[in-house]
Structure 1
Amino acid sequence: MRAVWIFLMAGLLPTMVLAQGAGERALAEGEAMMTDAQRSQQRIDQLDDATRDALSRYRQAIQQKDQLAEYNQQLSKMVDSQRSELEDLQAQLATIEETQAEVVPMLQRMVRSLEQFIELDLPFLEDERADRLAQLQALMIRPEVTVAEKYRRVLEAYQIESDYGRTLEAWRGALDIDGNQRVVEFLRLGRLVLFYQSLDGHMQGYWNAEAREWQTLPAGYHRTLAQGLKIARQQQTPVMLRLPLPPVSEQGAAQ
């Protein structure tokens, strides 16, 4: 019985070896299949990742496209608005040019009228007023100066001249009396009358606008004029003064 068992075991050995080899091959094939499956899964995962990336880029492209479309729409509105504003500005510039064409000659006429007015007015502050007038005349021909600035300066000069008619003023200056230059005191009552009095008080007179010359006053006006000079310089309280006034012409009465 022992020998037979050994025989049988010996007979089964090749079969077991063959079975073991088949199992190993099957195991190797299984491992290879698993490896292939894993590789396939990796490729699938990679393809899936690539697909997701492509989808993400596509969505981003769509979003950028929508944003660009919205931006272009806003830009188009801005361009239309700016074009409309430009047309309005061009229309305004055309109006301004027309206005300037009308205003500039008017300002030049105003300057000429001011010059004539000063020539016919009482002869006071002649240098100051002549300088102001010369500056205006020079300003009118300067192209870089705006019409608005020219207009402002002309109105300013008119305002200054207008203020002279409401002020009482005294100053010292030179006056030609009988061919001799003498220093005298001047007293201006608005634009109504202009007096002078010598420093020693011995001579006094007034400007005769109708005759366009200086005329003397009697010595009786010495004290009155002296008081007027003090009042103008705020050295004395204002009081009623008896001063000669020029006759009113028919032309002046009509005005």
Structure 2
Amino acid sequence: MPFLSPKCQILLASSIFSLSFVTVSADTLSKTIQTENAIQKSAVKSQKHIDGLDDQTRKMLEKYRSVTRQTRTLLTYNEHLQALLDSQEIEKASFEQQLTEIETTQQEIVPLILNMQASLEQFVQLDIPFLPEERKQRVSSLKAMMTRADVTNAEKFRRIIEAYQIENDYGNTIEAYRANIELEGKISSVDFLRLGRVALYYQRLDGSETGVWNNAEKSWKPLSNEYRNSIRQGLRMARKEAAPDLLTLPIPTAKEAKQ
């Protein structure tokens, strides 16, 4: 084998070293690339994991906020229900008290109604005898109603008050009406003039006779003819056929009440 010159030996060694260096650099670069790819894959995987955790955290936060809102809503609703229950308890206690009072009132109102009905009946009997049939019928109807089970005490009381109001109104009005009257043992049709409860007059339809009711003696008392025109004018005024005016009429004196 021929020997190489020293210069050729140096060139050959340099070539071998360069080739070895290139081989080593290529291996290093490959490993570096592999390492970088692994790092990138790991980074991508980590990012996906982080993104997944972020989505999970966001969902948990939204769920927490939703649960918090529902909790506040339920608390508000529960407070409202509690207020309603408290109000119902107060109403219940009030109704129980009213029921107790109603029982007491029922026991007290029945004697009151009966006394008022009896007093009204007595009052009509003692009063001057105007509209006798109408008033007696009203009193009889009230008396019959007192024993009816299908009529409530409230309705009975209302009817009694209504009857009292009607009687009260009689004292503030003037009225003319036509009815029959017994005079000297005969039934005659006459015109009646009522001045409140102060006086009750009658006049025959032909104007031939005029009289006034004497409540003390419970009888009719004839009047002189000087009052005939006044009674006639009073009848016209009561029927609204003439304007209101002064009337000259005899007024029965009030009887002193017994002590």
Task: Report if the CA contact (8 A) 1:203-1:216 is conserved.
Answer: no
CA distance in 1, matches of 2:254, 2:36: 140
Which of residues 221, 225, 233 is equivalent to 1:222? 225
Report how far residue 111 of structure 1 moved.
Answer: 1.7
Task: Report if the CA contact (8 A) 1:193-1:246 is conserved.
Answer: no
Q: What amino acid is aligned across from residue 227 of structure 1 in structure 2?
A: S
CA distance in 1, matches of 2:61, 2:213: 103
Bigger radius of gyration among the two: 2
Report how far residue 230 of structure 1 moved.
Answer: 0.9
Q: Does 1:254 align with 2:249?
A: no
Q: 1:51/1:165 Cα in 2 relative to 1: closer, same or farther (>3 Å)?
A: closer
CA distance in 2, matches of 1:197, 1:94: 58
Q: What amino acid is aligned across from residue 102 of structure 1 in structure 2?
A: E
* 1:41 corresponds to: 47
Q: Does 1:231 align with 2:237?
A: no
CA distance in 2, matches of 1:145, 1:115: 21
Q: 1:179/1:7 Cα in 2 relative to 1: closer, same or farther (>3 Å)?
A: farther
CA distance in 2, matches of 1:36, 1:109: 107
Q: Does 1:197 align with 2:203?
A: yes
* TM-score w.r.t. length of structure 1: 0.71
Question: Matches of residues 1-255 of structure 1 in structure 2 within 5 Å?
Answer: 16=22, 19-20=25-26, 22-58=28-64, 60-62=66-68, 64-65=70-71, 68-69=74-75, 71-73=77-79, 75-133=81-139, 136-137=142-143, 141=148, 147=154, 150-177=156-183, 181-209=187-215, 212-213=218-219, 215=220, 217=222, 221-234=224-237, 235=242, 237-241=245-249, 243=250, 245=252, 248=255, 253-254=257-258
Deviations 1:107-147 (CA, angstroms, capped at 9, x unpaired): 23212221232233222123442454456457655767673
Q: 1:131/1:14 Cα in 2 relative to 1: closer, same or farther (>3 Å)?
A: farther
List gaps (5 residues or longer) in structure 1. none
- What SS is found at the alignment partner of 2:208? coil
Q: What amino acid is aligned across from residue 237 of structure 1 in structure 2?
A: D
CA distance in 2, matches of 1:155, 1:246: 30
What is the aligned-residue RMSD (CA, Å)?
Answer: 4.0
Aligned residues: 246
Report how far residue 57 of structure 1 moved.
Answer: 2.9
* TM-score w.r.t. length of structure 2: 0.71
List gaps (5 residues or longer) in structure 2. 1-6
- What SS is found at the alignment partner of 1:186? strand
